[in-house]
Structure 1
Amino acid sequence: MEAPLVNSANEEVGRVALPEEIFGTPVNEALLWEVVRMQTANRRRGTHATKTRSEVVGSGRKLWVQKGTGRARVGDRKNPLWKGGGTIHGPQPRSYAYSMPKKKRRLALRSALASKARDGELVVVDGLGLTEISTKALAANLKAMGIDNALIVVPERDEVLEKSARNLPKVKVLRVEGLNVYDVLCFEKLVLLKGALERIQERV
């Protein structure tokens, strides 16, 4: 498999070979769903909480005597059946995180990358032409390439590119070690810097 290599002016300057074992992987949509579900679950904070009758502020006095009034027996005002009382079986802080086998996660990542190549949403660039931190310059370069919604994958830390992209709401810069299924599928285009291809092959 091959893909065109373009520069920041969207001019083709060569061709690059795409590893068949990654970008030729059959797209497994069910596995992609599983991994995205795991990632979104792991991102949940799980800080929701309701107060039980032991946590509600109020008196513990018994409201009326047990017998002789003709009314139903009752305890204190914190009874869950009363307005302002505690909550029965309400949500409590917990972790939603769970894990999946590493082989399945790697296969899902290969499947996500292959889906971008299959759908023509993969762009390989030799550089984005930034010499200093400039959101305006990065936005102009991406516009020249016909891109306004993209995940840009870099082989290593690139402070100039990362800081230039942080104010663009539909652009995210990610290093190869942080590459994941959710982000690959979340953005319309996957932009790979040339050096990132080899690093991706080593990782997956």
Structure 2
Amino acid sequence: MISNFNRFVLANIDTLLQGLWVTVSVCFLAFLLAIVLGLTACLIRLYVPVVRYLAIGYIEFCRATPIFVQLLWVNYVWPELFGFPRSVFTAGVIALALQSSGYLAETFRSGIEGLARGQIESGLAVGMRYRQVFAHIVMPQVLLVMAPSLINQIAVVIKSSTLVSVIAIPDLMYEAMRIVNQWFEPIEILTSVALMYFIVIFLISMLANYFVAHFNRKLGMRSA
């Protein structure tokens, strides 16, 4: 087994690390886009009655559609309908962001609605604009409450990213399966890949938890 590990894993470590970098890049961009889309959908649902049901429809569609279907839909249908995305990388980012944005929108909504109304009214009473109240009072507390859900959603995005290989994005899973199909030795390669995903998710979770704890101490607040 050690000889197989050296032959199939260590000999292809550069390829696997390159695939890991693609995975991290896709997930990072997708999660940032998901936060923007999710927060936008949440705010429209809460504060723009005219198009509230459009936001609700968007949220439910993103949550109820399998990521596999979204990947194929964005990659093959969107270019015909909208003229973009023009690359599989962009399609993967958008598809991952769409699904996560639906869940994040609901997470944002529960955090905002759970905030005591008196805090908003107090901010307005001392002369703050609503935008300032939202940025300095509402969002810090909402982010603190939803921190565990955010960390969990990051892990979900990384796990879901294993499917982007179906549209030929050269991520870690794509490169691993290419090596497996070349040598027909899955044990060492897939075991190593599983450990790589575990390490990435574990490190991100640890780092995120550290920043949450730092945020708590800085503001003298506690997460729910």
TM class by shorter chain equals: under 0.3
Q: Which of 1 and 2 has higher RCO (CA within 8 Å, sep 6+)? A: 2
Structure number with the higher strand fraction is 1
Q: Give the helix-richer structure, 1 or 2.
A: 2
The TM-score, its normalising length taken from structure 1, stands at 0.26
* TM-score, normalised relative to structure 2: 0.25
